[in-house]
Structure 1
Amino acid sequence: MTITKHLDFWPRHLPTWLEVPHTSLYHNLQVSAMRYPTRTAIFYYGTKVSYETLLLQVDRLAAYLHIECHVNQGDSVLLYMQNSPQYVISFYAIVSLGAVVIPINPMSVTEDLMFYEQDSKAKIAIIGQELYANVAPLISSDLLSQVIVATYSDFIDFQDEFEMPKVVTTLSHIPASPTVILWKEALANSLDILPIAVLPSDIAVLPYTSGTTGKPKGCIHTHETVQTNAVGGALWSYMTSSSVILATLPLFHVTGMEHSMNAPIYVGATMVIMTRWNRDTAAQLIEKTGCTHWTNIATMVVDFLSNPKLSMYNISTLKGIGGGGATLPAAVGNQLLALTGVAYAEGYGLSETMSQTHFNPPDRPKMQCMGIPSFNVDARIIDPMTLEELGPNAEGEIIVHGPQICKGYFHRPEETQKAFIEFEGKTFFRTGDIGKYDEEGYFFMVDRMKRMINAAGFKVWPSEVESLLYRHPAILQACVIGVPDPRRGETVKAYIIPKKEYRDTVTELEVMEWSKEHMAAYKIPRIVEFVEKLPTSATGKVLWRELQEQEKNK
């Protein structure tokens, strides 16, 4: 039965149903460039790129791709670079041709690239020059016919006061060849092409899953599925042409792609792009540009607020702060609220759903909560074994139906069939996440089905234990995993990064004793290990599976 109680808390100024534009993503850029030609589209460490200039460079790159690289409608193009103006230009040039963006994590290595190339059949790649060594073997083996190499320093003014990572200030040093084209050369053309008719149903982007349960799978997203969350995200967060968005999440990831690039371009807002996360530079950029919106992940917020120099910066322009990936510890959320007056609004989504299926209402968010179903989304909780629908406060698998759901997995019919179920006459996607919803229709994440710890027959959800550990005054970050135990089957282990001022005083035993007072006995970490850092993905998510593998191999 469709859950509707959450509509009582729906933002009053918004409709509950969203009519998605029947146009392409490129059309969004064309409209914003016509409406706001001189408005800054991109602010990159002091350099300003107007919407008029952005569209011009997109069109030039598109012409080069089409005429010189023979990229046609439906062809795949690898996009392998870090956050930069060139990333935005490349993305929109590719989709303007009706071609398909294959967004690749910059942390991927040559072996990964070979898989993506073979799976997507891409023959052209646009890359950051710092990643060239990883791509070179694909060129020499003729897997790629042409590679366009971008240098981030082409877009910066070395006189600006911002601290920039070395990868941004490095000058061009990759030599051109018949197969290697430098970015400046590609754009220094006067080529012209006829407009290409791109339909909402055409594939726009194939974001790949992380591959934690096997080979990565390409999620088939059309212009329509991407538009759904770009438009919905902009409306839900009160984004307008006057907004200034701090883009710290990687643009290859669906959350950064939608909330830090596609949504701002849809409304004609300004994107303040950071190539690498740096808490001082982030605060400086917020102050300098008057950032109003910041979509991030919990680890960024923790680091940002722990900056002893934060009080030196004026960050009062921030009006909307939120994110997903992992719940923000309540203590951190309260600290953020006290500092900025902004309540952190979490959301929930997956690569398969092109970011959000759930949002917290901006004017009534709940802490450590996925939020309520977004525009046009029907979300349920079912028993993962019997597929029986469950009611309020019952824990089960989250399933979702909505227009942002991918059309399946690329060349994976069997995987696609497993991922979807028919329920009450509608097709729902099985998220593989365990959650619940309360009497008001707000959804809460419990954990990944694969992550549950079975300790002597008791279910332990690591995210819950992590949330409780964050209440400890000495803990900066925590990651909880299950480790083998001869008596209990599995037991709870906590990897902890202590706050700097507590590193010489807090002990493993003290954390375990504290835990006895704050959580049920079966949830208490029986093993505590202090570490200087935790393994993280390019999006900042803690890679708990890596820690689990390390434990298994001991």
Structure 2
Amino acid sequence: MPFTQVPVPDRPQHRVWPRRLPHWMTPPQTSLFDNLAISARRWPGKPALVFFDRTLTYPQVVAMAERLAARLHAMGVRKGDRVMLDMQNCPQLIIAHFAILRANAVVVPVNPMNRAEELKHYITDPDAKVAICTGDVAAEIAKADAQLPAEQRLAQLIVTQYADAFDPAAQGPTAPPPAWHDWLFTRHPLPALESGQVMAWTEALDNSLPVPPSEVGPEDLAVLPYTSGTTGLPKGCMHPHRSLMHNAVASMAWGNGTSESVVLLVVPMFHITGMVSVMHSSVYMGATIVLMPRWDRELAGRLISRWKVTTWTNIPTMVIDLMASPNFEQYDLSSLVHIGGGGAAMPQAVAQRLFEQFNLRYVEGYGLTETAAPSHSNPTDAPKQQCLGVPFMSCDARIVDPETLKEVATGEQGEIIVNGPMVFNGYWKRPEATQAAFIEFEGKPFFRTGDLGRTDEEGYFFITDRLKRMINASGFKVWPAEVEALMFRHPAIAEACVISAKDAYRGETVKAVVVLRASHKGQVTEQQIIDWCRDNMAVYKVPRIVQFADALPKSGSGKVMWRTLQEAEARG
């Protein structure tokens, strides 16, 4: 469902819109690979990527991406073919991502925490015949591949080792933490494919093969990220070069990015936010990207201090963790000029400390895989806490009644719908799901996010909850996100996830799974938490059950997996 440019109508949020920015942006009408090539020509000696002790310039990244693209072409990859990419953040992920695009193919990003049973879907659904991965997940891919019918198996697997990109013997404050040594330093043996060939990364790049002609443009498919729904297997979201290009360029402008920006990239690039709002945006503006393969608060503090990081997109739990470090006062965060993220609300107390101590306003945003990351963001100079922000550049977003699909009044709750150039083309091989995901509103196709929210008088959007997550307790509708936000105010609570529990009288009742701060463990009881909630929220919202846990289950992108807790409750 290609997007047609229609001017965004005048909306309340335009009264608080940054005066320096247009409401609508026309991005470059080129491929995403062009951004990398242009930055290499503009800044030939500039560090593009930093990974522990090693730096790569923009021309070096281009050269490696083109050699890998030539190898992919020689392996039979052609325009529109889907290539699976399965690894944690590292230079090879960025090189491989752009190599796939340069080979006129489509990137299928995969979470490296997936196991063989899950990986089978990422091979068969996009009809992938080639995969690129790191050594730590190669055996799992081979295991998944072996369980497939011969005609659905991979033909080629390219395997890199994390140590291909840095010197394991290097010492210093920005060296990998000791706990990562086994994971990062081990050179895993190459597995065998049942019906295909396996090639080492170094061999794949060691070639003088011709690079194929560039055949793709704005409307061609670029990335096929998968998203989970409430039912069924994950669905591929068809994103052309155009949708990612828009949000990459708009993210740079919105966040005051320049070619002098130094960006800490720790949110995973297999996730749409890390891929678009950080990686593609940074490459477009020619920034230096400081890579972290996983989160470690001490390493993050040292990297920010060493490289004078200016921009950090994260999830709030990372900021909370860093500020809780006993070494926090030793780190120099004075270079930071932009900090923000999404996936969960930033606790008000933490946001206030950031502002008071560092004069940093935490900028929360909102978006889905279907919207190429941001569809909403807070203005950097006028953010509201625990708020999605206002509809992003070129985006028209509304709140409608989920049943009547009529727009609701300011302050009333409804479903968030989105129209704009960042919206995907539809679900891969799922025409029925695509049709169900869109409605026509005021003559334009709007994507139904499935999230419930409201707006205030200034046009800022606030999320209330997922449409499918509502708890119905004796007819009262309870939105877990609202209860969680309230519980965060308790001084003993580090994290909380609210789910529904069966109740013989109410049908459903509210249950909270709570992680206590270390300083309060053993000093607070479940009943005391319930009593506090009763004093601080409407009675029908109060958790009738509180269960303490050492940690909450989280996804690869750091979001709390409430469905995991909900399913465990249903089983138990």
Instruction: Give the TM-score range, shorter chain.
Output: over 0.9
* Deviation by residue 1:457-516 (Cα, 9 ceiling, x = unmatched): 111111111111111111111111111111111111111111111112111111111112
* Deviation by residue 1:102-121 (Cα, 9 ceiling, x = unmatched): 00011111121111111100
Aligned-pair identity in percent equals: 48
Aligned residue for 2:122?
116
* Deviation by residue 1:29-82 (Cα, 9 ceiling, x = unmatched): 000000011111111112111111011110111011111x11111100000111
SS at match of 2:351: helix
Counterpart residue type for residue 57 of structure 1: M
Aligned residue for 1:169?
184
Q: 1:215, CA displacement in angstroms?
A: 1.4
226, 233, 241: which one aligns with 2:259: 241
Q: 1:290, CA displacement in angstroms?
A: 0.7
Q: 1:198, CA displacement in angstroms?
A: 1.3
SS at match of 2:253: helix
Counterpart residue type for residue 163 of structure 1: P
CA distance in 2 between partners of 1:153 and 1:432 (Å): 42
Counterpart residue type for residue 122 of structure 1: A
1:153/1:168 contact within 8 Å kept: no
Q: 1:139, CA displacement in angstroms?
A: 4.5
Counterpart residue type for residue 86 of structure 1: Q
CA distance in 1 between partners of 2:403 and 2:536 (Å): 32
Aligned residue for 2:365?
347
CA distance in 2 between partners of 1:200 and 1:448 (Å): 32
CA distance in 2 between partners of 1:145 and 1:166 (Å): 32
1:302/1:476 contact within 8 Å kept: no
* Deviation by residue 1:269-319 (Cα, 9 ceiling, x = unmatched): 011111111011111100011111111112222222222221111111111
SS at match of 1:95: helix
Aligned residue for 2:101?
95
Aligned residue for 1:370?
388
442, 454, 457: which one aligns with 1:439: 457
Q: Measured at CA, do residues 176 and 507 of structure 1 come closer, stay the same or move farther in structure 2, by a change above 3 Å?
A: closer
* Deviation by residue 1:81-130 (Cα, 9 ceiling, x = unmatched): 11100000000000112200000011111121111111100000001100
SS at match of 1:120: coil
342, 345, 352: which one aligns with 1:324: 342
1:16 equivalent in alignment to 2:40: no
Which ranges of structure 2 fall in alignment gaps of 5 or more residues?
1-7
1:59 equivalent in alignment to 2:78: no
SS at match of 1:106: coil
TM-score norm. by structure 2 comes to 0.95
Q: 1:171, CA displacement in angstroms?
A: 3.6
CA distance in 1 between partners of 2:528 and 2:365 (Å): 34
Counterpart residue type for residue 104 of structure 1: V
SS at match of 2:84: strand
2:451/2:465 contact within 8 Å kept: yes
Counterpart residue type for residue 145 of structure 1: A
SS at match of 1:481: strand
Counterpart residue type for residue 11 of structure 2: T
80, 98, 103: which one aligns with 1:74: 80
1:106/1:131 contact within 8 Å kept: yes
503, 506, 512: which one aligns with 1:485: 503
Q: How does 1:224-239 map to 2 (within 5 A)?
A: 224-239=242-257
1:32 equivalent in alignment to 2:39: yes
2:500/2:510 contact within 8 Å kept: yes
Q: Measured at CA, do residues 166 and 212 of structure 1 come closer, stay the same or move farther in structure 2, by a change above 3 Å?
A: farther
6, 31, 48: which one aligns with 1:41: 48
1:463 equivalent in alignment to 2:467: no
2:142/2:191 contact within 8 Å kept: no
Which ranges of structure 1 fall in alignment gaps of 5 or more residues?
none
283, 294, 300: which one aligns with 2:301: 283
2:388/2:460 contact within 8 Å kept: yes
1:42/1:50 contact within 8 Å kept: yes
1:139/1:145 contact within 8 Å kept: no
CA distance in 2 between partners of 1:64 and 1:339 (Å): 50
Q: Considering only aligned residues, what root-mean-square deviation do their CA atoms show, in Å?
A: 1.4
CA distance in 1 between partners of 2:114 and 2:191 (Å): 23
1:152 equivalent in alignment to 2:198: no
CA distance in 2 between partners of 1:312 and 1:510 (Å): 36
1:383/1:397 contact within 8 Å kept: yes
Q: 1:336, CA displacement in angstroms?
A: 2.3
Question: Which stretches of structure 1, 4 residues or more, deviate above 6 A after TM superposition?
Answer: none
CA distance in 1 between partners of 2:320 and 2:477 (Å): 28
SS at match of 1:451: coil
SS at match of 1:450: coil
131, 134, 137: which one aligns with 1:125: 131
1:189 equivalent in alignment to 2:207: yes
507, 522, 526: which one aligns with 2:540: 522
TM-score norm. by structure 1 comes to 0.98
CA distance in 2 between partners of 1:163 and 1:59 (Å): 29
